[in-house]
Amino acid sequence: MKLNRLNIIVFTGFVAIVGVLAMQLVTLSRAYTFEKKETADKIHFALQDVVTKIYNDNHSELPAESPIKKVAEDYYVVNVNDVFEQDVLEYYLKNELQKVKLDMDYEYAIYDCGSNSMVYGEYIAQNGSPKPDGPKCVNCFSTRPGLIYYFAVRFPDMVHAYISSLQLYWIYTGILVLVLVIYTYSVILLLRQKKYTELQKDFINNMTHEFKTPLSSILIASNYAAKQEAIEANPKLSKYLGIIIEQSNKLNHHIERILSVAKTEEGIVSLHKTQFNLNDTLQLLKENVQLKFENATVSIQDSNEGYNIVADEFHFYNIAYNIVENAVKYGGASPQINITVVPDKNGLVLQFTDNGPGIPLEHLDFIFDRFYRVPRENKKEVEGFGLGLFYVKKICSLHGWKISVKNNEPQGLSISITIPKHSLA
């Protein structure tokens, strides 16, 4: 895959999210381990105190070796090695486990040497009271060979207690996993859209280039044929050839516009900035527009007539021509376009105002979008692909200029281009 800015951003974002998620999982694992150790310590201390109290009641000496054996995560055997009563044991278990704030259910059983089996004691809730309807597991307690006076304690909800005590960690981890899934899905959609966009660009480029060669041949042959005496002598044939030449030129103009937009999209356009007189370029624009559209009136108001700007003159002329041409197309029977050049604190404002019907407010924000065309009540076909103003916006962005549009009162449209001071000579 070609390494570009998008790939770097996507890869960096993915690594960052995965890294944060990995850190969260490590933190969760450590918190789980710490919770297990803390719970085990609480149980050990509580059972040790129970044994101590039993030995004190019997006036016996405590053994040197710890009588507590951890058989499983939730199962402990305590070798008292001295006689004790069940009621006394239950009382001590309640008190000592409550002292260490061990908030979970437990059950216990006592070894009966007469029957060589474990005698089930009671299921105690976390508040210290017996719970007769608790999920008793009598067969979960097994005998330990070699021991005579001992009891066993089991904590059936220990794993659930671990999980519930770390609920905030689980929530944070779940949120991070959700973010990772959303990010991955968004990247897939983005790459898919990028692929479709590239296919679209390739199609447009190939299509327009394929059209250029036969169109050029048609124009050359038509222009040559139009100069022949037999054609000039026949008004009908001359008219038909004129239509062919005119429509071929229009098609060529559309193809050139599509190519220009495709180049700006791919960043291929390189601006050749030179210093030129703004008024001279606008006067040339005025003459060409009025030659092509005899019903159009173009006026220029320049308070200085001597402003020089530094820009790409070719593209500047094109964007100005596109704006004026749109005003003529939608300006009715007698379109009037007024071009005003006024200085302001930010530089220079170039404003194009027409007397057309304007644009509905719901469409005003979209006129610079690619292929966007404003729906018209007049069903008469107006030629174009919705690329003119998109091209204007792109060229202005490449120059670092700002462009805005607004409706006038009572009618008409104004498009303003702000040329900053750094573009003035």
Q: Enumerate the domain spans of the chain.
A: 7-165, 168-266, 274-423
Reported as a pLDDT band with limits 50, 70 and 90, residue 261 is: low
CA distances from 255 to 2, 217, 219, 249, 356 (A): 30, 15, 14, 10, 27
Question: Could you give the CA distance from residue 23 to residue 21 in angstroms, rounded to a whole number?
Answer: 5
Q: At how many degrees (to 10) do helices 5-57 and 86-99 cross?
A: 140
pLDDT digits (tens, 9 = 90+) for 72-108: 888 999 999 888 888 899 899 999 988 988 888 899 9
Bond from prior residue into 360 cis (ω within 30 degrees of 0): no
Residue-level pLDDT at 268: 52
CB atoms closer than 10 angstroms to residue 66: 13
Residue-level pLDDT at 379: 45
Distance from the first to the final alpha carbon of the chain: 44
Q: Flag whether pLDDT at 266 surpasses 60.
A: no
Q: Flag whether pLDDT at 257 surpasses 70.
A: no
Q: Flag whether pLDDT at 209 surpasses 80.
A: no
Residue-level pLDDT at 1: 45
**141-148: long-range pairs with CB below 8 Å, 24+:** 141/109, 142/118, 143/111, 143/116, 143/117, 143/118, 144/77, 144/79, 144/111, 147/77, 147/79, 147/81, 147/111, 148/81, 148/111, 148/113
Question: Could you give the CA distance from residue 222 to residue 237 in angstroms, rounded to a whole number?
Answer: 11
Residue-level pLDDT at 339: 92
Reported as a pLDDT band with limits 50, 70 and 90, residue 378 is: low
Residue-level pLDDT at 311: 92
**3-class DSSP state of 314:** helix
Residue-level pLDDT at 47: 92
- The number of CA neighbours under 13 Å toward the Cβ of 103 is 6
Bigger pLDDT: 257 vs 94: 94
| Run of H or E including 25 | helix 5-57
pLDDT, mean of residues 239-265: 73
Q: Flag whether pLDDT at 287 surpasses 80.
A: yes
**Burial class, 100, CB count within 10 angstroms (exposed 0-12 / middle 13-18 / buried 19+):** middle
C-alpha R_g of the chain: 44
Tell me which residue of 85, 94, 108, 105 sits closest to 49, measured CA to CA: 94
pLDDT digits (tens, 9 = 90+) for 34-61: 888 888 899 999 999 999 999 998 888 8
Q: Which CATH architecture has domain 274-423?
A: 2-Layer Sandwich (3.30)
% of the chain at pLDDT higher than 70: 89
